[in-house]
């Protein structure tokens, strides 16, 4: 069933006909007025039990005036046609459901799992917060208990492979927690990401340690005691922010491997809030940049033999890194090479987006669903223009890159504990 509602923009009085397919899931709404670019957001709540629909929209008000100016489709995970101005054709438009050939999310298990995750996201956030609270206060006993006394499917599955009784010290608790959070996050990982993380865990990191064990030890020895901890505990807050935005990114997930075939001038989304995603992107950018020294060290070890042997010669590691200037320059140092260590990490950052601070330098074009990031520096103004949909993809790619880096951090925390500090590993051996 297709429903149509007419809304009036609260700011410029533009009339919008919003049309949507009533399906099984709530429809997140985040659109921009085509005339004044004001943000219109909310949720269409579909209660299948009581067969009721309630439209909770902020920024525009429902009206009986049928004389609409623009029509826009709303969809949870489908791509939509961008705004159309009213003409003879818009009154007899085909349902996007029919256009897609009646494919429902139920036919796609991955999308089904993702929608389930989004519906339950508060529970996932709570679990992640709690497990990291226990870890940061070093409550190994409570983490073991959490893993043992459970009727949670994910933990039952994990316990089949790794006995939770082996969670004995802080290192065990940390690795168990990571396995658990990886499993929780699996529905929001694009296809192939879980496997790549597994490769980092089992192949790429082992390859470096096996081949260059002395150099790796030398590098790990040089790091502060809290080096890894500091970074690992920055992760959960970003992950939670990402989970809060996942409903906006559903159309990106649904089209992840079809991005090359999308006509971005015609097709768009009705779920993305540029403000939310710009904040998320900036946070991800900082987190990725903060982690760069580990990656530069690994790159130097693999390519030049020791962590302080840069492409241009041997230097004091920290001095050379600082000498590179901006965080983005450091990022470019290791992404300019083709080592497979950085697959999925290279090329995901855009310096202009990161530097576009606040509303003044982000221009949103609601009608065409385009966003322009403007970065003013003393050397001039740089702008970067992209569609909402492509910016959404950049946010997913950045999330993916951070997951990979996160895996490196865990693995080298483990190597440092075992190789340098002589800690015994019990869990997941």
Distance CA 58, CA 44 (A): 11
Q: In the complex, what is the shortest distance from the CB of residue 40 to Zn ion, in angstroms, rounded to a whole number?
A: 8
Query: Whose Cβ is closer to Zn ion: residue 39's or residue 354's?
Result: 39
Q: Does 12 bind Zn ion (CB under 5 A)?
A: yes
- Of all residues in the chain, what percent are helix, strand and coil, respectively (each to 5)? 55, 15, 30
Query: Interface with Zn ion by CB under 5 A: which range of 7-15, 202-210, 297-305, 344-352?
Result: 7-15
CA-wise closest residue to 70 among 17, 114, 138, 107: 17
Query: Whose Cβ is closer to Zn ion: residue 42's or residue 428's?
Result: 42
Q: In the complex, what is the shortest distance from the CB of residue 17 to Zn ion, in angstroms, rounded to a whole number?
A: 14
Dihedral sign for Cα 255, 258, 262, 264, please. positive
Q: In the complex, what is the shortest distance from the CB of residue 159 to Zn ion, in angstroms, rounded to a whole number?
A: 54
Could you tell me if 386 and 370 are in contact, meaning their C-beta atoms sit under 8 angstroms apart?
yes
Distance CA 49, CA 210 (A): 58
Query: Whose Cβ is closer to Zn ion: residue 61's or residue 104's?
Result: 61
87: phi then psi, degrees, rounded to nearest 5: -150, -170
Taking residues 14 to 33 in sequence order and writing x for each that binds Zn ion by CB under 5 A, - otherwise, the string is: x------------------x
Residues near Zn ion (CB under 5 A), total: 8
Q: In the complex, what is the shortest distance from the CB of residue 362 to Zn ion, in angstroms, rounded to a whole number?
A: 18
Could you tell me if 160 and 179 are in contact, meaning their C-beta atoms sit under 8 angstroms apart?
no
- H-type helices in 140-273, by residue range? 140-148, 153-161, 170-185, 193-199, 205-211, 213-221, 227-232, 235-245, 250-254
Query: Interface with Zn ion by CB under 5 A: which range of 13-21, 78-86, 401-409, 420-428?
Result: 13-21
Query: Whose Cβ is closer to Zn ion: residue 367's or residue 419's?
Result: 367
The structure tokens listed for 308 are 């302080």
Query: Whose Cβ is closer to Zn ion: residue 11's or residue 194's?
Result: 11
Q: Does 11 bind Zn ion (CB under 5 A)?
A: yes
Q: In the complex, what is the shortest distance from the CB of residue 365 to Zn ion, in angstroms, rounded to a whole number?
A: 13
- H-type helices in 202-337, by residue range? 205-211, 213-221, 227-232, 235-245, 250-254, 274-290, 292-304, 317-323, 327-335
Q: Does 9 bind Zn ion (CB under 5 A)?
A: yes
Could you tell me if 396 and 247 are in contact, meaning their C-beta atoms sit under 8 angstroms apart?
no
What is the full DSSP assignment across 395-408?
A: HHHHHHHHHHHHHH
Query: Interface with Zn ion by CB under 5 A: which range of 9-17, 75-83, 92-100, 366-374?
Result: 9-17
Query: Interface with Zn ion by CB under 5 A: which range of 3-11, 46-54, 82-90, 305-313?
Result: 3-11
Q: In the complex, what is the shortest distance from the CB of residue 57 to Zn ion, in angstroms, rounded to a whole number?
A: 13
Measured CA distances, 370 to 28, 62, 74, 353 (Å): 19, 26, 17, 14
The structure tokens listed for 336 are 């300019």
Query: Whose Cβ is closer to Zn ion: residue 61's or residue 165's?
Result: 61
Distance CA 74, CA 19 (A): 6
Query: Whose Cβ is closer to Zn ion: residue 58's or residue 420's?
Result: 58
Query: Whose Cβ is closer to Zn ion: residue 35's or residue 393's?
Result: 35
Query: Whose Cβ is closer to Zn ion: residue 11's or residue 328's?
Result: 11
Q: In the complex, what is the shortest distance from the CB of residue 13 to Zn ion, in angstroms, rounded to a whole number?
A: 7
Dihedral sign for Cα 393, 396, 402, 407, please. negative
Q: Single out the residue of 24, 36, 326, 357 in contact with Zn ion (rule: CB under 5 A).
A: 36
Q: In the complex, what is the shortest distance from the CB of residue 33 to Zn ion, in angstroms, rounded to a whole number?
A: 3
Distance CA 93, CA 87 (A): 11
Q: Does 58 bind Zn ion (CB under 5 A)?
A: no
Q: Does 72 bind Zn ion (CB under 5 A)?
A: no
Q: Does 40 bind Zn ion (CB under 5 A)?
A: no
Q: In the complex, what is the shortest distance from the CB of residue 82 to Zn ion, in angstroms, rounded to a whole number?
A: 16
Q: In the complex, what is the shortest distance from the CB of residue 164 to Zn ion, in angstroms, rounded to a whole number?
A: 55
Query: Whose Cβ is closer to Zn ion: residue 74's or residue 394's?
Result: 74
Query: Whose Cβ is closer to Zn ion: residue 41's or residue 300's?
Result: 41
Q: In the complex, what is the shortest distance from the CB of residue 60 to Zn ion, in angstroms, rounded to a whole number?
A: 8
Strand 80-81 and strand 84-85: the pairing is unpaired
Instruction: Give first-to-last CA distance, the chain, whole Å.
Output: 53
- The residue ranges that bind Zn ion (CB under 5 A) are 9, 11-12, 14, 33, 35-36, 38
């Amino acid at each position: 069933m297709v429903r149509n509602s007419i809304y009036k923009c609260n700011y410029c009085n533009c009339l919008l006909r919003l049309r949507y397919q009533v399906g099984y899931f709530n429809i997140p709404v985040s659109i921009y007025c085509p005339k004044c670019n004001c943000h219109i957001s909310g949720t269409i709540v579909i209660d299948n039990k009581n067969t009721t629909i309630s439209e909770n929209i902020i920024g525009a008000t429902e009206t009986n005036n049928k004389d609409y100016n623009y029509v826009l489709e709303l969809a949870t995970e489908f791509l939509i046609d961008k705004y159309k101005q009213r003409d003879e054709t818009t009154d007899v438009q085909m349902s996007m459901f029919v256009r897609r050939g009646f494919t429902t999310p139920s036919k796609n298990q991955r999308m089904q799992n993702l929608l389930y995750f989004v519906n339950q996201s508060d529970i996932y956030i709570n679990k992640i917060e709690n497990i990291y609270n226990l870890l940061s206060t070093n409550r190994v006993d409570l983490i073991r208990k959490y893993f043992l006394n459970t009727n949670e499917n994910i933990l039952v599955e994990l316990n089949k492979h790794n006995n939770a009784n082996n969670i004995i010290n802080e290192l065990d608790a940390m690795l168990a927690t990571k396995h658990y959070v990886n499993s929780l996050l699996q529905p929001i990982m694009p296809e192939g990401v879980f496997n790549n993380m597994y490769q980092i865990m089992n192949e790429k990191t082992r390859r470096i340690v096996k081949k260059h064990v002395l150099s790796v030890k030398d590098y790990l020895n040089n790091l502060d005691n809290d080096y890894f901890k500091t970074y690992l505990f920055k992760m959960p807050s970003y992950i939670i922010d990402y989970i809060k935005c996942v409903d906006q990114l559903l159309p990106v997930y649904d089209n992840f491997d079809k991005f090359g075939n999308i006509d971005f001038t015609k097709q768009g989304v009705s779920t993305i809030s540029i403000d939310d995603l710009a904040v998320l992107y900036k946070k991800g950018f900082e987190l990725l940049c903060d982690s760069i020294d580990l990656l530069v060290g690994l790159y130097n070890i693999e390519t030049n033999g020791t962590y302080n042997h840069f492409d241009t010669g041997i230097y004091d590691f920290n001095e050379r890194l600082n000498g590179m200037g901006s965080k983005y320059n450091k990022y470019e140092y290791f992404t300019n090479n083709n080592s497979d260590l950085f697959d999925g990490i290279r090329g995901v950052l855009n310096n202009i987006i990161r530097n576009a601070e606040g509303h003044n330098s982000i221009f949103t074009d609601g009608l065409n669903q385009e966003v322009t990031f403007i970065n003013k520096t003393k050397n001039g103004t740089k702008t970067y223009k992209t569609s909402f949909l492509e910016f959404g993809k950049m946010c997913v790619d950045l999330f993916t890159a951070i997951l990979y880096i996160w895996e490196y951090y865990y693995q080298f925390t483990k190597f440092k504990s075992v190789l340098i500090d002589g800690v015994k590993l019990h869990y997941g051996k």
